[in-house]
Amino acid sequence: MPQSRRLVLCVDDEAVGLQVRRMILERSGYSVLTAHDGPTGLKVFAENPIEAVVLDYAMPGMDGGQVAAQMREHKPQVPILLLSAYMSLPADLSGLVDISMTKGEGAPVLLQKLDSLFSN
Amino acid sequence: MNLSQLNRVLLQTLLIPVVALMFVAAILFLQIQSAERTVVQMQKTGNNIATATLASALIVNEESGLRGYQITSNEIFLQPYDYSQAPLDSALQDLREGLSQQGSDPRDVDNFIVAHNIWRNSFAAPLIAATHAGQNTHDSGLNLRGKAQMDALRERLNSIIEGQKTQRTLVVETWQRQVRETLEILVALALIIGLAIGFFARSRLHRVSDAFQSTLESLRFNAHRTFESEQRLRTTLTSIGDGVVVCDVDGRIELLNSAAQQLTGWSQADAFRQPLEDVFRIVDETTREPLETPFAVVKRLQRVVGLSNHAVLLGRDGSELYVDDSGAPIHDRSGKLVGVVMVFRDITEQRRSQAALLATEKLAVAGRLAATLAHEIHNPLDAVGNLLYLMQSGSSPEESSQFLKLASQELDRVTQISRAMLGMYRESKTPVAIDVKEMLESVLLLLNRQMSQSQLEIRTDLAPDASVTGYPVELRQVFVNLLTNAADASSKGGMIEVRTKLRRTGPKTGSRQAGVAITISDNGAGIPDAAMPQLFQPFFTTKGEHGTGLGLWVSHGIVEKHGGTIEIESSTNEQNHGTQITVFLPRIEG
């Protein structure tokens, strides 16, 4: 459990998925900001002291990889968790994100992976 | 040499000897006439000699009668003298005429007559009168004078006879010469004409023989060529891979080549004169109804026909082969139908490889859709999983009810996607009515993720009551292909439009069939002109390793199978680049 409420940014184009993920994270003690696409996510990311990002890969327009690359440029210290509905992601993404997981692995795995980002 | 030349030569060889013989006959006729004239001359000379001899005998009679009367003074002895008078005058007249007719001088006879008259008047008459008077008539002077006169008369006659004899000898000689000449001319003419005719006939016959020889040569050459050409054709016929069946105008088999024998299972000997339907049995691949043979169709239409490729050939041993067949009429010189030749080919392998290619393309479509599918299923499942987690970890009844509603919504999405996906693979054996709007919407749903990822805007204008009859799985595959192509061709931010329109007539000229036109247009780069002709060829792709090159080929095949058409218009122009594909599908009534 986090000591204080950490500010997490969730970016996903799936409205329901994003809403539910926000509830789970908030219940687990995180403060959550959401964005429904890459450009909005980057804007929120730039304007707020985001401590971690939960980023969906497959989004219209900018995909997760592009968003992650720009985030890394501005604030390389902020850890990024990449979510994907695909079984496999392009290989060149591994350097851009800290950890990745497949959608459908379940909320406990998400919470555990997010938690691990802070304990490192 | 043609027939009229030959006839002319034959006529010449017949007529020329006839003319030559007539010429010889004419010459002979003239010669004989001339000889006849000579013979007449000979007869005349003979007559003259006989007349002169008679005259000579008569003057002897005269003289001896006169001498007898002079000696005996008996009148009886004077009779020969008296009786000779008239015949002698007549003979001398004849002789004179004979000589003048013969062309000799008649004056000898005249002179003789004069001399005879002198003898008669100056010697005979006085002597008779003296004897009658009983006077002495033995004066030697008188008698000697009388004798001398008589001798002179005899001399004259003898000279005439001799002249005539000489004349006769001359005429005989002339006749003999004429006969000899005739013989010589005859022999010479026979020789010359015989040789001429011989040479002429020989030259003509040579010409005929040469012509005959050359005709024979050319016949032999033609026969050889015909034989060679027949052999060549026969070998070609037997060695080609396609089955060839030739039948007569009644549909009885005349020839099966090796391929046809192999495909039908009938040998040439067994099949010969058998009705075609017994040997070449074809049925429709789906209905199994017997199909009209190419023979029947050709006989009906009297032209070359290519036939359905849905035919299955039933072999003699019960084997079944997919065949592609065609037929062509055989006409004689007058254009009358005398037989039909049919060509067919085993397309079982082709069908298998086509089926394999179709399966490949289907898998490729599935592969393309797999990522979308995973995404579209994983997203709602993830949300549902998370909602369940929230409910499990304690929620108020209000929250739970809201979560359940959300979860149900998400599951509906999964169902929709899975239905759309199933629609891609649930095969249907018979054509069914298809709502085009619904079909296109479900295809677009499957492609939605892919499109939105590429930031492509999709605009649709789908007529609500557009329906066609067909195979939904195959048509979905067509539109997945066409839409994927449009998406691949578009750059980010591009726009794809999907429109349907009901049409009362098809795009084919004269087509009165109503149907639906589905147009998919993009504003991508457009297709270069060079690629346009190859678009529907298998294995042609502009996507490099990312494409199978089968999409449009398969789509084309499917649309054709539905009796429809597919048309592509494209422009690479900077201002209005893009591609527009229109698929027309006929509405099959009933």
> What per-residue confidence (pLDDT) applies to B512?
67
Smallest CA-to-CA distance from B325 within B242, B266, B268 is with B242
Q: With CB atoms and an 8 Å threshold, state whether B453 touches A60.
A: yes
Q: Where in chain A are the domains? A: 7-119
Report which DSSP code applies to B382. Answer: H
- B327, B346, B365 — which closes off a domain? B346
- Cα separation values, B136 from B74, B82, B270, B334, Å: 15, 21, 145, 128
In a domain, B237, yes or no: no
In a domain, B325, yes or no: yes
Tokens of B49: 């000699």
Rounded Cα–Cα distance for residues B375 and A18 (Å): 15
Query: What are the chain A neighbours of B380 within 8 Å (beta carbons)?
Result: 16-17
Q: How far is B576 from chain A (nearest CA, A)?
A: 24
Same domain for B455 and B359: yes
Same domain for B193 and B93: yes
Query: What are the chain B neighbours of A104 within 8 Å (beta carbons)?
Result: 378, 381-382, 385
Nearest to A60 among B381, B410, B455 (CB): B455
| B240 in contact with chain A, both atoms CB, cutoff 8 A | no
Rounded Cα–Cα distance for residues B120 and B524 (Å): 166
Helix H segments across B252-347? 258-264, 268-271, 276-279, 294-301
**Domain of B291: which CATH number?**
3.30.450.20
Q: With CB atoms and an 8 Å threshold, state whether B393 touches A27.
A: yes
Same domain for B101 and B248: no
* pLDDT tier, A35 (very low <50, low <70, confident <90, very high otherwise): very high
Number of domains, chain B:
3
**Domain of B413: which CATH number?**
3.30.565.10
Phi-psi region of A89 (alpha: psi -120 to 50; beta: other; left: phi over 0): beta
Task: State pLDDT tens for residues B265-310.
Answer: 999 999 999 999 889 888 988 788 888 888 888 888 888 887 666 7
For B23, the domain range is 3-211
Torsion of CA B392, A15, A84, A62, to 10 degrees: -160
Same domain for B445 and B358: yes
Same domain for B448 and B387: yes
Same domain for B374 and B339: no
% pLDDT > 70, chain B: 98
Task: State pLDDT tens for residues B151-176.
Answer: 999 898 899 899 889 988 998 998 89
Rounded Cα–Cα distance for residues B580 and B575 (Å): 15
Query: What are the chain B neighbours of A103 within 8 Å (beta carbons)?
Result: 378-379, 381-382
* pLDDT tier, A7 (very low <50, low <70, confident <90, very high otherwise): very high
Q: How far is B463 from chain A (nearest CA, A)?
A: 28
- Given a contact cutoff of 8 angstroms between Cβ atoms, the answer to whether B209 and B217 are in contact is no
Tokens of A51: 């401590």
Same domain for B504 and B363: yes
**B454-483 average pLDDT score:** 88
Q: How many residues does chain A have?
A: 120
| Domain spanning A7-119, CATH class | alpha beta
- B328, B346, B364 — which closes off a domain? B346
- Given a contact cutoff of 8 angstroms between Cβ atoms, the answer to whether B520 and B500 are in contact is no
Asked if the model's pLDDT at residue B76 lies above 50, the reply is yes
Smallest CA-to-CA distance from A87 within A76, A72, A102 is with A102
Query: What are the chain B neighbours of A107 within 8 Å (beta carbons)?
Result: 385-386, 389-390
- Given a contact cutoff of 8 angstroms between Cβ atoms, the answer to whether B245 and B279 are in contact is yes
Same domain for B196 and B75: yes
> What per-residue confidence (pLDDT) applies to B273?
93
In a domain, B236, yes or no: no
**Domain of B114: which CATH number?**
1.20.120.1730
Task: State pLDDT tens for residues B355-389.
Answer: 888 888 878 777 777 777 777 888 888 999 999 99
In a domain, B221, yes or no: no
- Given a contact cutoff of 8 angstroms between Cβ atoms, the answer to whether B36 and B216 are in contact is no
> What per-residue confidence (pLDDT) applies to B309?
66
Q: With CB atoms and an 8 Å threshold, state whether A17 touches B381.
A: no
Q: With CB atoms and an 8 Å threshold, state whether A107 touches B410.
A: no
In a domain, B219, yes or no: no
Q: What is the CA radius of gyration of chain A?
A: 13
% pLDDT > 70, chain A: 93
In a domain, B327, yes or no: yes
Cβ–Cβ pairs < 8 A, chains A and B: 66
* CA B33, B38, B41, B43 torsion-angle sign: negative
Task: State pLDDT tens for residues B489-548.
Answer: 888 888 999 999 988 876 665 566 788 999 999 998 888 888 888 888 877 787 777 777
Asked if the model's pLDDT at residue B24 lies above 90, the reply is no
> What per-residue confidence (pLDDT) applies to B265?
92
Rounded Cα–Cα distance for residues A57 and A51 (Å): 19
- B192, B211, B230 — which closes off a domain? B211
Pairing state of beta strands B578-586 and B515-522?
antiparallel
In a domain, B102, yes or no: yes
Same domain for B358 and B338: no
Which of B368, B377, B386 to probe by mutation at the A interface, max A CB count within 10 Å? Answer: B386
Asked if the model's pLDDT at residue A1 lies above 50, the reply is no
Q: Is B249 helix (H, G, I), strand (E, B) or coil?
A: coil
Average pLDDT, chain B: 87
Please write down the long-range contacts of A91-94, taking CB distance under 8 Å and 24 or more positions apart.
A92/A65, A93/A57, A93/A64, A93/A65, A93/A68
Q: At what angle do helices A64-74 and A38-47 cross, to 10 degrees?
A: 20
